[in-house]
Structure 1
Amino acid sequence: MIDKPQGMSSHAVVQRVRRACKVRRVGHAGTLDPLATGVLLVGVGQCTRLIEYLMAQDKTYRATMKLGLVTDSQDITGQVQQQHDASAVTRQQIEDVCHQFVGQIEQIPPMFSALKKDGVPLYRLARKGVEIERQKRSISIESLVVEAVEGDEITIVVACSKGTYIRTLCHDIGLELGCGACMTSLRRTRSGAFDETMAITVDQLMAGEFEPLPALDALHGMLQVQLAEQGVSRLRDGIPPRQGDVSNAPTMDALQTVCLMHDNTLMAIAQYDPEHELDERGDYKLLKVFPQGV
């Protein structure tokens, strides 16, 4: 887990992890723009197969926005499109508007984003002055707290679902206030069970001053099912285990996703599916298998 510095791309962090770990297979769980800092979760080797579970987790951000300034990128790095006087906006108005964005809302992704159209990232089209229609997305804002108001600079702390664009949130808050706004800084302080206090710097990474986190940390909260020896043997042959092949029998819902374990080693991620059609193939639908454990 890296504390990404400002000015460095997420891809550049991945390149440094490759060099530091001497492993080619590396991926990250959620892009941070060069402007942003904070928690960037990185998977190495087989653990890259767990990244989708990390990306699905909620995140927390601290952001600042400047009222009265609208840019094409919705942040301070973009071209200024509009400027308005925001001196009459009160803290109470800001808090009232922010409260309107808490809950399940819809958001239009920005043009300056890594989303793709016909295989081309939108930000490349945006840099050419091309704008295309984007579909609204449903996202969830668990909490949105106004932490500080200093003139036209507003600091907010946002706990949200995956897929939330904080600069778009700042832009939309500015629209509701009637004066416009753009994001001036962003820090991801938490991603799932991982917070900024656990992250290492890029300098620490390159100096070798780190200890990789266990793979199971990426599956925080997922139920663990312990396999008996016959279950491990079936799994290594590519055969889903039966309920009789587990050494513990936790209560599970149908289609619940679980970790299949042997001792303290992750052997597979599976769905408990005792009523599927191929009864002879066991009581679990295998999603990801790690025959040698991870």
Structure 2
Amino acid sequence: MDAKFGFLVIDKPAGVTSHDCVSRLRKILRIKRVGHGGTLDPLVTGVLPIAIGKATRLLPYLHTSKKYQGTIQLGERTNTDDLEGETIKSSPWPQLSEADLDKFLDLFRGRIFQEPPLFSSVHINGERAYKKARKGEIFDLPRKEITIYQLKVNSWNQSTGRLDLYIHCSSGTYIRSLARDLGENIGCGGMLFKLRRLEALGFNEDEVIPLPDLNYNKEKLLSKVVDPILSLNHLSKFRLKCEEDFYWRNGRKIITSNSRIEVSKIIEKGELNSYKNFLLVINNDYSIAGIAEWVDDSIIQPKVVLNPL
């Protein structure tokens, strides 16, 4: 398998875009096939998984939930729902206890429908929403179903109106929208003041490396690439026999016994049900072969075939 294959976990600094990080890594590694796993706004810091080489094809099969630590400023409303935008309205916030705030936050726990910010990358008739918003166009964005698994008050400062939160949510959740909607429910408006991503796609802060500069040594950077098998350990596994290799490499289904499936303990517990029909397929030498769909008890259907060079 290509040596430039796997994941880098970057600690994205403030002031750069996710695309800037990808572009820099392309230049250092001198390869085009680099992609990120989940956009972070320029002001947001933290965990940014980067797929290197053929690992870009594996991004849809990684953990999708994300964890954040953020600060919401009550009493301020901006057109971007964060510090980057223009102030629309300022209002005093009421006297609130942490118990009061927890009741408001309860409105956002679990499955909810959320409207993305106007300044977002959502497509509207083939154009990004933020481009339409910059031109002053008036439009509505469709609400999306998301899940907030955990929403906890870390601290509350009544004098400054700043609320520190821990958020564990599904992919597609906008923390800026959460700040906006929480402020509206309280009645004083709100915006995102600060945000750091603690975990994304199964990677966490313990695994991050600083965004390297353009002079960073290529081989040293490649040594930090995470093996994709380690990143996909939430999936059940299927190991190919030598005689099945030809069928796999040609994208043909394999008929087998379900006793050969090593079922993930995470799947057994009922977690990550959206992944229960996908398998991490490994070669006889335990290198990664790709991703398959477990059609029923006896059929393995290739989805991503990673042929060796």
Superposition TM-score, scaled by structure 2 size: 0.86
1:138 paired residue among 145, 155, 171 = 145
Q: Is the 8 A contact 1:111 1:131 kept in 2?
A: no
Q: Distance in 1 between the 2:94 and 2:186 partners?
A: 12
| Pair 1:214-2:221 in alignment | no
Post-superposition shift, 1:48?
0.6
Within a 5 Å distance, the mapping from 1:282-293 to structure 2 comes to 283-292=299-308
Q: Distance in 1 between the 2:198 and 2:301 partners?
A: 35
Q: Against the structure 1 CA distance between its residues 274 and 66, is the aligned structure 2 distance closer, same or farther, given a 3 Å change threshold?
A: closer
CA deviations 1:58-100 (Å, max 9, x no partner) are 0001111111001111111111111111152333321221122
Q: Is the 8 A contact 1:231 1:242 kept in 2?
A: no
| Pair 1:116-2:129 in alignment | no
Within a 5 Å distance, the mapping from 1:4-153 to structure 2 comes to 4-54=12-62, 57-86=64-93, 88-150=95-157, 151=159, 152-153=161-162
CA deviations 1:137-158 (Å, max 9, x no partner) are 1110001111111231111110
1:232 paired residue among 235, 245, 257 = 245
Post-superposition shift, 1:119?
2.0
Post-superposition shift, 1:274?
4.4
2:166 paired residue among 157, 160, 171 = 157
Instruction: Give the alignment's Cα RMSD to 1 decimal.
Output: 2.3
Secondary structure in 1 aligned to 2:11? strand
Q: Distance in 1 between the 2:302 and 2:94 partners?
A: 58
Post-superposition shift, 1:260?
1.4
User: Which structure 1 residue ranges, 4+ long, deviate > 6 Å from structure 2?
Assistant: none
AA aligned opposite 1:13 = C
Out of 151-160 and 93-102, give the one that drifted further: 93-102
Q: Distance in 2 between the 1:183 and 1:142 partners?
A: 19
Q: Which residue is 1:278 aligned to?
A: none
Post-superposition shift, 1:101?
1.1
2:189 paired residue among 175, 180, 188 = 180
Post-superposition shift, 1:250?
4.1
User: Higher relative contact order at CA 8 Å, sep ≥6: structure 1 or structure 2?
Assistant: 2
Q: Distance in 2 between the 1:68 and 1:41 partners?
A: 34
CA deviations 1:166-211 (Å, max 9, x no partner) are 0100111111111111001111100132111211111378523541
Q: Distance in 1 between the 2:291 and 2:212 partners?
A: 34
Q: Distance in 1 between the 2:212 and 2:55 partners?
A: 23
AA aligned opposite 1:138 = E
AA aligned opposite 1:51 = L
Q: Against the structure 1 CA distance between its residues 251 and 91, is the aligned structure 2 distance closer, same or farther, given a 3 Å change threshold?
A: closer
Out of 153-162 and 85-94, give the one that drifted further: 85-94
Superposition TM-score, scaled by structure 1 size: 0.90
Q: Against the structure 1 CA distance between its residues 225 and 99, is the aligned structure 2 distance closer, same or farther, given a 3 Å change threshold?
A: same
AA aligned opposite 1:117 = I
AA aligned opposite 1:215 = P
Q: Distance in 1 between the 2:192 and 2:51 partners?
A: 29
Q: Is the 8 A contact 1:50 1:218 kept in 2?
A: no
Secondary structure in 1 aligned to 2:260? coil
Post-superposition shift, 1:267?
0.9
Q: Against the structure 1 CA distance between its residues 126 and 226, is the aligned structure 2 distance closer, same or farther, given a 3 Å change threshold?
A: same
Post-superposition shift, 1:131?
2.8
AA aligned opposite 1:149 = W
Secondary structure in 2 aligned to 1:175? helix
Q: Which runs of 5+ in 1 are unaligned?
A: 276-281
Q: Against the structure 1 CA distance between its residues 132 and 64, is the aligned structure 2 distance closer, same or farther, given a 3 Å change threshold?
A: same
Secondary structure in 1 aligned to 2:251? coil
What is the aligned length?
285
